[in-house]
Amino acid sequence: MKKYLDDILSSIREMISYDSSLSSPEEGMPFGKGAADCLQAFLALARKMGFAANNYDNYAGEVLFGEGEEFAILCHLDVVPAGEGWTHPPFGGEIEGGRLYGRGTMDDKGPAVICLYCLKALKDAGFVPRKKIKLIVGCNEESGWACIEHYVRCAHMPETGFSPDADFPVIYAEKGIFHFKAAFPVENAPFTALYGGERANMVCAYAAAEGVADTAGCENFGLTAEGNKLIARGTAAHASTPQEGVNALGKLLAFFAEKNEGVRRAHDILFADSLVLRTLSDETGALTMSPDVAEYRDGVLYITTDVRYPATMRQEDVSARLERAGVSFAPLHCQAPLFNDRQGALVQTLLSVYREKTGDAAAPIAIGGGTYARALKNGAGFGPQFPGEPSTIHCADEYIELSHIETLAEIYRAAIERLTR
């Protein structure tokens, strides 16, 4: 794959240049112009390589290689908003210190481009797959999966495949995902406005309250007072791993919890975990809960929370506890867990490729993240995050190591060849 590395790098930088985060829809562009432009550029690149490619109404696209039983490689081109705290332009594709910086370098534009070049390398080498490979790229993975729903209506989803949008060595299980919006009445609110967060699946990095009469002691909670406005700053992270970030909203609510009963109830349930939801666990890990978006309106504090529950459990195990506690909430987004056979052919083939290319004898793992793999009857998450490496997915200064690009290309090329020959 060495001879393709310069082109891979150039193409990743091109894809990064599009701000493909969810924006207002336009005619023929359901997720906004940035996402549509990025999809069209990706498919144009594939056609230039000689592949057939289809665009399904700017919801999703596919690149086709081979004939026979279908095999999927599922990627996405949309990204979460850039957010604050960047020291490199989030859509600039800057290279510094052996790293390529930009939103989407790891999640998931970088891996999508690498997999496309793996198809080209196999094609150039004369490889003829015995399956029809579908490299499917969606534009709404981060905000609801409408792209996949549309693809299923317009095309045929394979039963088997992998998604390069997770962790190595290979993912055999993914926790269930449950986003809900809870409403907490706040009487005599000690603020006139409170807001924070950008996406349910991003740890809240900024929150603020306005019209605060008493800001005394705010510094003890890590807050900054600017007149009658309180500002909380945290550190963004993927909501499936909230422990890797610092939730700004939690700081803000902790301060007001000492002054108001309504806020205290919200803080106790969502941050202090008074309902002991985080004690739910199984072999795929414990439940995680990340309250990430807040808005105060008409005497009610609305908080959107991201929950990742153990893969052998049900969403009802979570919602029942909220209902028993009298919490008023509306489900926003639900995805059932993924739970695969660790010893199955797909997982074991991907695992053997990873071990051969890295020398790492790690075992299959479960994660809290949700990938397109769960859109398949037999799917698995497979990289690009290496064990022990810092993750910058959904964080400021997201980057991909230049040295990892070649390794990823070697891994994905071998995996695709082995699974489709």
Q: What is the DSSP string of 209-227?
A: EES-S--TTGGGGTEEEET
- Give the pLDDT of residue 17: 98
Same domain, 44 and 91: yes
- Asked if residues 142 and 333 have their Cβ atoms less than 8 Å apart, the reply is no
Q: 38 falls in which pLDDT band (50, 70, 90)?
A: very high
Mean pLDDT of 33-61: 98
pLDDT at 411 over 90: yes
Same domain, 75 and 137: yes
Same domain, 223 and 88: no
167 is catalytic: no
Which of 335, 355, 373 is the last residue before a domain boundary? 335
- Asked if residues 98 and 403 have their Cβ atoms less than 8 Å apart, the reply is yes
- Give the pLDDT of residue 144: 84
Active-site residue, selected from the candidate residues 19, 107, 141, 306: 141
Question: For 188-234, how does the pLDDT look when each residue is reduced to its tens digit (9 = 90+)?
Answer: 999 999 999 998 999 999 999 999 999 999 999 999 999 999 999 99
Q: 388 falls in which pLDDT band (50, 70, 90)?
A: very high
Beta bridge partners of 319: none
pLDDT at 58 over 90: yes
- Give the pLDDT of residue 205: 95
- Give the pLDDT of residue 76: 98
pLDDT at 370 over 90: no
- Give the pLDDT of residue 359: 97
> Per the structure, how many domains does the chain have?
2
Helices (H) and strands (E) in the chain, counts: 9, 24
Same domain, 6 and 148: yes
Same domain, 64 and 113: yes
- The CATH number of residue 391's host domain is 3.40.630.10
| Cα angle for residues 153, 339, 322 (degrees, 5° grid) | 85
Mean pLDDT of 289-304: 98
The pair of structure tokens assigned to 190 is 């000690």
- Give the pLDDT of residue 143: 87
Mean pLDDT of 162-167: 96
- Asked if residues 65 and 133 have their Cβ atoms less than 8 Å apart, the reply is yes
The pair of structure tokens assigned to 2 is 């060495």
Say how far apart CA 421 and CA 414 lie, in whole Å. Answer: 11
78 is catalytic: yes
Confidence (pTM):
0.81
Distance separating the N- and C-terminal Cα atoms of the chain: 19
- Asked if residues 118 and 409 have their Cβ atoms less than 8 Å apart, the reply is yes
Same domain, 12 and 158: yes
Same domain, 101 and 50: yes
**What domain range is 280 assigned to?**
176-335
Mean pLDDT of 5-27: 98
Same domain, 187 and 169: no
- Give the pLDDT of residue 200: 93
Which of 270, 304, 335 is the last residue before a domain boundary? 335
Say how far apart CA 16 and CA 308 lie, in whole Å. Answer: 28
Same domain, 205 and 309: yes
- Asked if residues 185 and 260 have their Cβ atoms less than 8 Å apart, the reply is no
Which of 269, 302, 335 is the last residue before a domain boundary? 335
Say how far apart CA 12 and CA 402 lie, in whole Å. Answer: 11
Same domain, 68 and 125: yes
- The CATH number of residue 217's host domain is 3.30.70
DSSP 380: E
- Asked if residues 240 and 369 have their Cβ atoms less than 8 Å apart, the reply is yes
Same domain, 390 and 404: yes
Q: 253 falls in which pLDDT band (50, 70, 90)?
A: very high
pLDDT at 72 over 90: yes
Closest Cα partner for 180 from 284, 309, 282? Answer: 309
Q: 406 falls in which pLDDT band (50, 70, 90)?
A: very high
- Give the pLDDT of residue 84: 87
- Asked if residues 389 and 360 have their Cβ atoms less than 8 Å apart, the reply is no
Helix 402-420 crosses helix 345-358 at what angle (to 10 degrees)?
140
Same domain, 165 and 182: no
- Give the pLDDT of residue 313: 94
